Amino acid sequence: MRTHAGKSHRYATSGEVCRWFATSHGCYDVHSAATRIAEGLLDATRQAEPPIELGSIARLRCVTKTVYKSDIKTLGTLQRVNDGFLILLQRDLHWFARREFWAHEIAHTFFYDIDARPPKRLLSTKGREEEFICELLAREILIPRTQLSDALRGEDPSLASLIGLSKRFKTTISTMANRVIGDLRSWATILILCEQREHLFPYSRVVRRPGRLLRVVRCIAPNTKEAFVPINKIVEKTPIIAEAFAQRRYVEGWVEFDKFGSLHGEKWVQTLPTASGSGVIALIHLGWTFPSPSTAKPRQATSDLLPIRAPGNASFFPQEPSRKLS
């Protein structure tokens, strides 16, 4: 998934494979094509409410069997068989993350002629453009545009809303953030995921401040120059974020940013520590508006903790408050 605005995103959406994918489905751009495909799949399987049931969509795309295994080397893979496809998924993943990789592998079927037996590959090469399209299409399937727009009515941008939406659609927090912040741009916010890590780029020509420190490991932001936070940014002394990490509790407040990527000036920030104790998630509000006190704090969860898909960490969970918050 896209981690921040930049050249890679522009390359992915304007490349040859994206143009082929868009025109193959009668659209001018890849986003419109993904929306059209997802709407067709949901109409064909008569799904108008979340969470989306992927089994019927898989069958529609000639996936004859989906198997959960612990010994596969990847998180998910699509294999051709004589009568369609076999999907293998990593058993050890949280089931929300597993749903996302299932949808991702279903998306790969659109690069095959599914009427052929076995299915025939339509393109001779694979690459990051195809992966970008499959990530986008997976989000469109799991979090349909119309259903999400309905769910966002009356919702303030907040960690509480983000967690609630993730549970409703049965997705990870990072995927929901990608949808509301990146794809639809419904929220003028940035979500950063921070963990205690060694330097993320140890082979760089210049390695400043090596060692195990609290660093930004992922940034989910609108695709604009004004919303950029660099990966590997150290946040050990950033107010609110450092407090949430040290005290293992939810913290919110104003933070004065200076030379923090493209962020400057005061921003309203909400933070929540991860259950593992190794990190923090932070929602940075880019405007001067911020959630009312009644919606700002995440409520006590009654279901499984929600995972966040972060590089190199399959169990990055937000910690739930120890008491119910009103």
Q: Are residues 115 and 174 in the same domain?
A: no
Q: Are residues 214 and 77 in the same domain?
A: no
Closest CA to 172 of 108, 98, 104: 98
Residue 325 lies in a domain: no
Residue 57, pLDDT score: 98
Q: Are residues 160 and 259 in the same domain?
A: yes
Supply 272's token pair.
Answer: 């929540």
65 vs 315: which has the higher pLDDT: 65
pLDDT tens, residue by residue, 72-110: 889 999 999 999 999 999 999 999 999 999 999 999 999
CATH number at residue 184: 3.30.450.130
Residue 26 lies in a domain: yes
CA–CA separation, 238 and 83 (whole Å): 55
Structural domain span for residue 136 = 7-142
- The residue whose two tokens read 């190794």 is 278
pLDDT tens, residue by residue, 149-190: 999 998 889 999 999 999 999 999 999 999 999 999 999 999
Residue 109 lies in a domain: yes
Are the C-beta atoms of 69 and 88 separated by less than 8 Å? yes
Residue 3 confidence (pLDDT) above 60: no
Indicate the residue among 142, 177, 200 that finishes a domain. 142
Q: Are residues 118 and 16 in the same domain?
A: yes
In total, how many domains does the chain have? 2
Q: What is the mean pLDDT of residues 119-140?
A: 94
CA–CA separation, 274 and 244 (whole Å): 10
CA–CA separation, 9 and 6 (whole Å): 6
Residue 2 lies in a domain: no
Indicate the residue among 124, 142, 160 that finishes a domain. 142
SS3 for 245-310, per residue?
Answer: HHHCCCEEEEEEEEEECCEEEEEEEEEEEECCCCEEEEEEECCCCCCCHHHHCCCCCCCCCCCEEE
Residue 125, pLDDT score: 80
Are the C-beta atoms of 179 and 143 separated by less than 8 Å? yes
Q: Are residues 154 and 302 in the same domain?
A: yes
CATH number at residue 31: 1.10.10.2910
Supply 87's token pair.
Answer: 């999907």
Residue 314, pLDDT score: 38
pLDDT tens, residue by residue, 4-19: 444 445 445 779 999 9
Residue 325, pLDDT score: 28
Residue 321 lies in a domain: no
Among the residues of 84-239, which ranges form H helices?
95-108, 128-142, 145-152, 159-169, 173-177
Supply 287's token pair.
Answer: 């405007």
Q: Are residues 107 and 27 in the same domain?
A: yes
Residue 306, pLDDT score: 54
Indicate the residue among 112, 142, 172 that finishes a domain. 142
Provide the terminal-to-terminal Cα distance of the chain, rounded to the nearest Å. Answer: 34
Residue 204, pLDDT score: 58
Are the C-beta atoms of 172 and 211 separated by less than 8 Å? no
Residue 317, pLDDT score: 47
pLDDT tens, residue by residue, 283-298: 999 975 555 554 555 5
Q: Are residues 169 and 137 in the same domain?
A: no
Residue 323 lies in a domain: no
Q: Are residues 24 and 113 in the same domain?
A: yes
Residue 42 confidence (pLDDT) above 60: yes
Residue 222, pLDDT score: 92
Of the pLDDT bands very low, low, confident and very high (cuts 50, 70, 90), residue 326 is very low
Q: Are residues 42 and 136 in the same domain?
A: yes
Residue 101 lies in a domain: yes
Residue 305 confidence (pLDDT) above 50: no
Residue 154 lies in a domain: yes
CA–CA separation, 192 and 282 (whole Å): 5
Segment holding 38, helix H or strand E: helix 30-44
Inter-helix orientation angle 128-142/7-14, to 10°: 90
Q: Are residues 306 and 160 in the same domain?
A: yes
Residue 257 confidence (pLDDT) above 50: yes
Lowest mean pLDDT among 61-75, 142-156, 243-257, 293-307: 293-307
Are the C-beta atoms of 309 and 175 separated by less than 8 Å? yes
Residue 299, pLDDT score: 43
% of the chain at pLDDT higher than 70: 81
Average pLDDT of every residue of the chain: 85
Residue 207, pLDDT score: 57
Residue 288, pLDDT score: 58
